[in-house]
């Protein structure tokens, strides 16, 4: 099966790594519908390491928050989680989160292990965690909270969870608490979609050597990632950071099509095929797509808008494909790894991005190929930064 995935993942408030920023704090209170404080509730900024648990009085304080747009997630066992968009421009105080109880929370749930559930769980883990070298060092600590359903006629696997999924990533040194909102895997097409709200917690290293290894692996995960790409696009340094961005047009394959990887005489575009059995043919146009064809600046709103049509064919030249990616895509045994290639498509004519690189409608962005293959095992918190140790003090 070729690596074609539609991944929709929690894109909230990217923190720019190029500009020093003053951090602030968010304070608030979590209550039930009757106004009673909820102690030990969880309040965190999605896809960051920033969060807190409430006190006996239901109060929380999230410190070290860089300015930007976020989703504040508040959750408590037996209550519906609450998502609150917040725009942090300075100290944010007096936030009140009122949670509603879940319907039928007293219903007894019995988890039964059987061969079918184990089979579906293996598929879920491969799609959600991934099949990379990093994925081999990831463990779901509480898969009993995941409800799985499979429609054999449609070849559709779905998953939900009423509680946080706990993922331990020993490759990158994070323990991730993930509130899964939706998961779909279409077996017949290879298309997958999932989204939710993660909180990243730093794991304690055994020694300094392990800490250095985690830092190295995090930088490797960042380089060439979607996070890296959006930050480079906002800062207009794609080429400098190793990204080549070309226009790609996808058309349905005609029966008499016989020229994969040739040149279309009419347009000068290179003809690429995603495999002999693909229904589509891709026409790749030469030359770097200019910035004004990718994005426009909205000075009044202090944000940006992605405007590209068709597909983007993105090559990251500074790292090679992982061997496991090549094996997954059935490369010839003697093939050498090439640069990392990804496709990006907008499902809407325009998609807004804020000044920190926050895609405000992530469900309108689809990625395929290398970015589609990278999963939770490669995911980093949005407050991840690369510190330039070579800068002068």
Question: Distance between CA 314 and CA 340 in Å, rounded?
Answer: 8
Average pLDDT over residues 187-215: 92
Per-residue model confidence (pLDDT) at position 104: 60
Question: Distance between CA 224 and CA 318 in Å, rounded?
Answer: 8
Question: Distance between CA 104 and CA 69 in Å, rounded?
Answer: 34
Question: Distance between CA 175 and CA 97 in Å, rounded?
Answer: 25
Q: Which helix (H) or strand (E) holds 196?
A: strand 191-202
Question: Distance between CA 221 and CA 374 in Å, rounded?
Answer: 9
How many CB atoms sit inside 10 A of residue 382's CB? 26
Distances (CA, A) of 120 to 5, 25, 114, 143, 375: 18, 42, 10, 12, 18
Per-residue model confidence (pLDDT) at position 4: 42
Which tens digits make up the pLDDT trace of 113-160? 688 999 999 999 999 999 999 999 999 999 999 999 999 999 999 998
Find tokens 């030469």 and name the residue: 286
Torsions phi, psi for 289 (to 5 deg): -70, 125
Say whether pLDDT at 288 is over 50: yes
Which tens digits make up the pLDDT trace of 44-99? 998 889 999 999 999 999 999 988 788 899 989 888 889 999 988 889 999 999 99
Per-residue model confidence (pLDDT) at position 3: 40
Residues 6+ apart with CB under 8 A from 200: 47, 48, 49, 174, 175, 176, 380, 381
Assign domain 24-99 one CATH number from 3.40.50.1820, 3.40.30.10, 3.20.20.140, 2.60.40.1120: 2.60.40.1120
User: Reduced to 3 states, what is the DSSP secondary structure of residue 353?
Assistant: strand
| Mean pLDDT for all residues in the chain | 85
Question: Distance between CA 59 and CA 38 in Å, rounded?
Answer: 9
Instruction: Break the chain into its structural domains and give their ranges.
Output: 24-99, 226-369
Helix, strand, coil tally for the chain in percent (to 5)? 15, 40, 45
> Token pair of 154, please?
């449609």
Question: Distance between CA 27 and CA 35 in Å, rounded?
Answer: 17
């Amino acid at each position: 099966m070729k690596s074609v995935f539609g991944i929709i993942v929690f894109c909230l408030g990217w923190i720019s790594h190029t500009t020093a920023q003053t951090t602030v704090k968010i304070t608030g209170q979590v209550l039930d519908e009757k106004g009673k404080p909820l102690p030990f509730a969880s309040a965190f900024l999605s896809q960051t390491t920033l969060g807190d648990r409430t006190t006996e009085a239901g109060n929380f304080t999230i410190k070290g928050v860089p300015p930007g747009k976020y989703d504040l997630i508040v959750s408590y066992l037996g209550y519906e989680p609450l998502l609150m968009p917040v725009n942090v421009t300075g100290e944010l105080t007096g936030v009140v989160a009122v949670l509603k109880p879940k319907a039928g929370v007293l219903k007894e749930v019995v988890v039964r292990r059987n061969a079918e559930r184990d089979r579906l769980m293996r598929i879920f883990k491969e799609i959600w965690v991934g099949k990379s070298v990093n994925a081999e060092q990831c463990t779901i600590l509480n898969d009993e909270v995941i409800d799985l359903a499979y429609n054999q006629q449609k070849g559709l696997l779905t998953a939900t969870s009423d509680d946080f999924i706990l993922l331990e990533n020993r490759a990158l040194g994070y323990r991730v608490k993930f509130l899964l909102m939706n998961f779909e895997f279409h077996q017949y097409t290879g298309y997958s979609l999932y989204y939710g709200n993660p909180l990243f917690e730093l794991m304690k290293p055994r020694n300094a050597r392990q800490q250095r290894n985690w830092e190295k692996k995090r930088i490797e995960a960042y380089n060439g990632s979607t996070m890296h790409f959006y930050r480079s696009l906002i800062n207009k340094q794609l080429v400098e950071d190793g990204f080549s961005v070309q226009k790609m047009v996808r058309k349905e394959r005609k029966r008499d099509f016989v020229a994969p990887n040739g040149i279309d005489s009419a347009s000068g575009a290179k003809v690429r095929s995603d495999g002999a059995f693909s229904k589509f043919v891709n026409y790749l146009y030469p030359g770097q797509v200019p910035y004004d064809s990718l994005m426009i600046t909205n000075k009044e709103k202090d944000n940006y808008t992605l405007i590209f049509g068709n597909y983007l064919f993105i090559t990251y030249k500074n790292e090679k494909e992982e061997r496991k990616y090549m094996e997954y895509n059935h490369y010839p045994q003697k093939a050498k790894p090439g640069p990392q290639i990804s496709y990006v498509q907008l499902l809407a004519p325009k998609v807004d991005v804020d000044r920190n690189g926050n895609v405000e409608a992530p469900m309108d962005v689809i990625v395929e190929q290398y970015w589609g293959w990278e999963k939770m095992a490669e995911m980093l918190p949005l407050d991840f930064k690369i510190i330039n140790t070579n800068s002068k003090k």
